[in-house]
Structure 1
């Protein structure tokens, strides 16, 4: 017995933190909020860290420490055990569906990173058609699904290397930006004063806040790996605090640094797709290093994005193949292959990713495709976040039933109030994010993207209505065969 335990592979809490970090935020995630809100996004980031990020990370910590059983469902297990099977099923489905636009977006980013590595510039949009871009994205998703069946620990290695390297590159960017300023470097953004950081509250401002929430969320994605930790009750909260610290550092100081190199009032139209590469190219040129920093960052970005894709594909597919009640999901969907992988979950993941790629193919160019898929995350992720706080509120409401080694806010009423605030904030951000962000109101492009947003979310979440029907048909067929 002791030998079997000592031979078991455990994941340490720093590795869990980096697994989480690569799914939560990267250098890119501070660029598109800068484009949407300008320098005032610093105010929004600070607000988000204290009003949402820390409560969110600590709520996940308590839920993770409360439910450390032998289940693969993660968030869906938390909701199912704290409420009922029906809500558990919808959590699993919406959680999985919300991951799909991000999976496609990350696969897109892998192509962009390799294009910079090969071409050394932003000419991908001129050299590649929408069809080829979509086809390559789908091929990359399939390749990573196949790789996960053969290299079981590759995800942990890539996530540790990619997450650590990306955090170090961000720290390096901030430090070298300070060095540049100290040696005569000029600030590109003018004016760069207190008034520039004060938000101008408008419909556009509030419609972009969902993207900030998307940028800092994903902590619960590592929940299925809790059972692989030696002492999850003690170590998982440590991992969440580390992630919260890295997120705060990256968002606030990274935004300050970007404003040194980019005029926040006149940003490039393709900043969301190519901005991180521009940033390290500008930094290298200002320091007299040419494109050295650009190529170093490009390699790190490629590893980081591939690590994200590996974690997302694996964890998202385990969610719907976990402990969701059998009456809601067809048995074939949770079937596993000889390597223990949820094969049919991967197939369904690939199918709906292809749907999103076909939808995005109706847009005029690669930059528009990249931006739309990115913005779609600002809708579906806040909706998914609502279930985290449903579980947290339910656990705190039934505190006599659920016990945890880690408790976020010991006062029951205060904890429920914080959970309710986070739920409402997430839901409002999701609704506001349906408004298209990169096109002008009243144009054909605006109407097109609004319809795409509505239809995509309807399909992603609506297919979840079909699964219980298929499960009932499967059960009836089994009963008839037995009789």
Structure 2
């Protein structure tokens, strides 16, 4: 269950398309590099942290940072982690709208039939619906994650297997030349500025941290779940990308590949196998369930992080208020408000495809920043090995472990900073300037709003002290 909950939030079929569009066939080299030097260390670092803090509060990653460093850093971890999830929540809700568009129309005509306002309104309505569902149906998330995660992985395996079958029966490779030279990257600023999106595609393992306390044997079973996720991720990224390059010319990809590419892929596969649009119809249903499962997990886990184990000195008491079902209701309200801000920002872009791409690219900035906290906690735990005991230890040698954690920290930070450079638009154009300003302003609002909560909490405590003094005087 934990592995599927995690897999649902980490990577899907869509996550293969935008790296292919950004880097071409050379992205296979980048994926292999990422899996060996980042994904495995990342998953195993999360495993050790999870095995170390199995009985902490609801905060997950913020609890890990708080207990291994300071309360202040724990608060900023919680805030930045929560804020980083918001563009992804909006992006996933966008994808739900797109999936229903394909189920209803059977083609890519959504962008022509729907205005930016309608697209944004439907996205926001979907977010609100899922917030309400989670408050009334306690186990809806687990059921959807299991069905969606399992179905998406099976569809990806099916795509890879059927691609091989197609090649064995006379199928042509669309990407030419398809040789060793095509896999060698052309290192440039554009190449490095898009690597943050690959990091975004393979991260999110720590999102299941709040559910650790629900496992029967978290110290032994959580690392196994992380290994399973790492293996599934490696298979999906490498073999899925190679399969896509057989159906799409990686040197001349559709401009809306990020939004509609996965549907094009199953449409092309079905046509090549003589099945018409049958596989497309099946995938559209699976994609809808998968994206809705993502939305459920993200909204729930992110809201627990911001309302969980953040020190009382930093958060006003109303933020930790629970409703009758035990849900952090005001966290959901704040989540909805900032999601609406992102939708209003994206509404200034020319069309739905631009909106989809910009929100997706914004994840390449905020997620690598969030990853820095994972490795900060891992380094802190390894430097205080005498203080923390874990059933699972990633890299026995402390010096090597700290070096690996430091590499991942620096790599995440560099990817985050380079990702501010706009993608999908040409340099020195009005669109480039607009998206650069939108990137800077969005990150400033999402992360900078975290300064308000400690001030609010301080005013709240001051007011309570004043009321207490007044009560004592009257008494």
Rounded to whole Å, the distance in 1 between the matches of 2:119 and 2:309 is 36
| 2:163 paired with 1:177 | yes
Rounded to whole Å, the distance in 1 between the matches of 2:109 and 2:421 is 29
Task: Describe the SS at the equivalent of 2:253.
Answer: coil
Matches within 5 A, 1:88-237: 88-237=74-223
Give the one of 456, 468, 472 matched to 2:442: 456
What CA deviation, in whole Å up to 9, does each residue of 1:150-171 have, x standing for no partner? 1111100100000000000000
Q: Is the 8 A contact 2:56 2:63 kept in 1?
A: no
Q: Residue 342 of structure 1 corresponds to which residue in structure 2? A: 328
Q: CA deviation at 1:173?
A: 0.1
Rounded to whole Å, the distance in 2 between the matches of 1:149 and 1:458 is 31
Rounded to whole Å, the distance in 1 between the matches of 2:361 and 2:282 is 28
Rounded to whole Å, the distance in 1 between the matches of 2:269 and 2:122 is 31
Q: Residue 374 of structure 1 corresponds to which residue in structure 2? A: 360
Rounded to whole Å, the distance in 2 between the matches of 1:481 and 1:102 is 42
Rounded to whole Å, the distance in 1 between the matches of 2:105 and 2:366 is 33
Q: CA deviation at 1:449?
A: 0.2
Give the one of 279, 299, 303 matched to 2:265: 279
Q: CA deviation at 1:386?
A: 0.1
Rounded to whole Å, the distance in 1 between the matches of 2:161 and 2:78 is 41
Q: Residue 406 of structure 2 corresponds to which residue in structure 1? A: 420
TM-score (norm. length: structure 1)? 0.97
Give the one of 330, 353, 372 matched to 1:386: 372
Rounded to whole Å, the distance in 1 between the matches of 2:34 and 2:44 is 14
Regions of 4+ moved over 2 Å: none
TM-score (norm. length: structure 2)? 0.99
| 2:12 paired with 1:26 | yes
Rounded to whole Å, the distance in 1 between the matches of 2:249 and 2:231 is 27
Q: Residue 10 of structure 1 corresponds to which residue in structure 2? A: none
Task: Describe the SS at the equivalent of 1:452.
Answer: helix
Q: Residue 79 of structure 1 corresponds to which residue in structure 2? A: 65
Q: Residue 278 of structure 2 corresponds to which residue in structure 1? A: 292
Q: CA deviation at 1:323?
A: 1.3
What CA deviation, in whole Å up to 9, does each residue of 1:261-288 have, x standing for no partner? 0000000000000000000000000000
Rounded to whole Å, the distance in 1 between the matches of 2:289 and 2:314 is 37
| 2:230 paired with 1:238 | no
Q: Residue 359 of structure 1 corresponds to which residue in structure 2? A: 345
**Where in structure 1 are there 5+ consecutive unaligned residues?**
1-14
| 2:439 paired with 1:437 | no
Q: CA deviation at 1:69?
A: 1.0
**Where in structure 2 are there 5+ consecutive unaligned residues?**
470-475
| 2:51 paired with 1:65 | yes
Please give the root-mean-square deviation of Cα atoms over the aligned residues, in Å.
Answer: 0.4
Rounded to whole Å, the distance in 1 between the matches of 2:147 and 2:227 is 20
What CA deviation, in whole Å up to 9, does each residue of 1:57-114 have, x standing for no partner? 0000000000011410000000000000000000000000000000000000000000
Rounded to whole Å, the distance in 2 between the matches of 1:437 and 1:242 is 32
| 2:256 paired with 1:270 | yes
| 2:452 paired with 1:473 | no
Rounded to whole Å, the distance in 2 between the matches of 1:424 and 1:59 is 15
Aligned length: 469
Q: Residue 21 of structure 2 corresponds to which residue in structure 1? A: 35
Rounded to whole Å, the distance in 2 between the matches of 1:364 and 1:443 is 14
